C-alpha cells in the first residue's frame, strides 16, 4: 500500500508541476508565413501625386494589385465593405466575389493643375484581367474624385491582406495590395 501511495504522490506532484500534462499547443505557422489580418488598413496622408496605371499579378501565396503613382505614394484606405460605391455619386458597383475590398488611394487619377486624366481604364468593370487568379474575382473602377481614386476589388472570400508602398522607379512609387489565397 505504501508503494501505491508513493506512486500516487509522485504522479500528483508531476501533474501539478506540469511534467505529465501536455503544455500549450505550439503556435501553428500561418499560411505561407504571412501574418496579415482582414482588418482595415489606412494611412491618412494626402498626396499631390497622380495615379498612372493599375495592374495585377499572381504569386504563390497571394494575388497582388498595384497602383502606379507618378510621385510619392502617400495615403490609402483599404477595407472590407458590404458594397463598394462610386466616388461622388455613391452608387453601388456590382462586383463578383464572396467579399469586397474598397481600395482608395489618396492620389487623384488626373493632373491637379490641368484636370486632364493621368489614368482612365479602358473598361471600368474590368480594370485589369484577373480571370485566372486564385483569390481575385474582379477589379472595378469606382472613380477619382476630390483627390482620391477608388477601386472595387472582388475577392473569393474575406481573406487576410496587406497594404504597403514601394518607392520607384525614378520619382514614381507604387501602392501595393496583397490578398492571401488562404488563412
Cα separation, 161 vs 44, whole angstroms: 18
Whether domain 31-180 has CATH 2.60.40.3500: the reply is yes
Positions of the chain with pLDDT under 50: 15, 18-28
Structural contact between residues 103 and 150, judged by C-beta atoms closer than 8 angstroms:
yes
**What is the per-residue pLDDT for 74?**
87
Chain segment 18-48, per-residue pLDDT in tens = 444 444 433 445 679 999 999 999 999 988 8
Structural contact between residues 105 and 76, judged by C-beta atoms closer than 8 angstroms:
yes
**What is the per-residue pLDDT for 87?**
84
How long, in residues, is the chain?
183
**What is the per-residue pLDDT for 7?**
55
**What is the per-residue pLDDT for 153?**
98
- Which strands form 99-105's sheet, in the order they lie side by side? 41-43, 76-81, 99-105, 148-155, 136-145
User: Domain boundaries in the chain?
Assistant: 31-180
**What is the per-residue pLDDT for 6?**
58
**What is the per-residue pLDDT for 5?**
62
Amino acid at each position: 500500500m505504501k508503494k501505491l501511495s508513493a506512486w500516487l504522490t509522485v504522479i500528483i506532484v508531476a501533474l501539478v508541476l506540469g511534467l505529465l500534462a501536455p503544455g500549450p499547443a505550439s503556435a501553428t505557422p500561418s499560411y505561407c508565413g504571412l501574418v496579415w489580418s482582414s482588418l482595415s488598413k489606412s494611412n491618412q496622408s494626402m498626396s499631390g501625386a497622380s495615379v498612372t496605371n493599375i495592374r495585377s499579378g499572381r504569386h504563390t501565396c497571394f494575388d497582388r494589385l498595384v497602383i502606379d503613382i507618378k510621385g510619392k505614394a502617400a495615403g490609402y484606405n483599404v477595407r472590407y465593405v458590404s458594397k463598394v460605391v462610386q466616388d461622388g455619386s455613391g452608387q453601388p458597383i456590382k462586383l463578383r466575389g464572396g467579399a469586397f475590398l474598397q481600395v482608395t488611394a489618396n492620389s487623384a487619377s488626373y493632373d491637379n493643375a490641368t484636370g486632364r486624366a493621368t489614368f482612365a481604364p479602358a473598361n471600368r468593370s474590368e480594370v485589369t484581367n484577373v480571370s485566372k487568379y486564385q483569390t481575385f474575382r474582379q477589379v472595378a473602377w469606382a472613380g477619382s474624385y476630390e483627390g482620391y481614386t477608388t477601386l472595387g476589388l472582388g475577392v473569393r472570400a474575406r481573406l487576410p491582406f496587406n497594404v504597403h508602398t514601394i518607392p520607384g522607379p525614378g520619382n514614381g512609387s507604387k501602392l501595393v495590395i496583397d490578398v492571401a489565397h488562404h488563412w
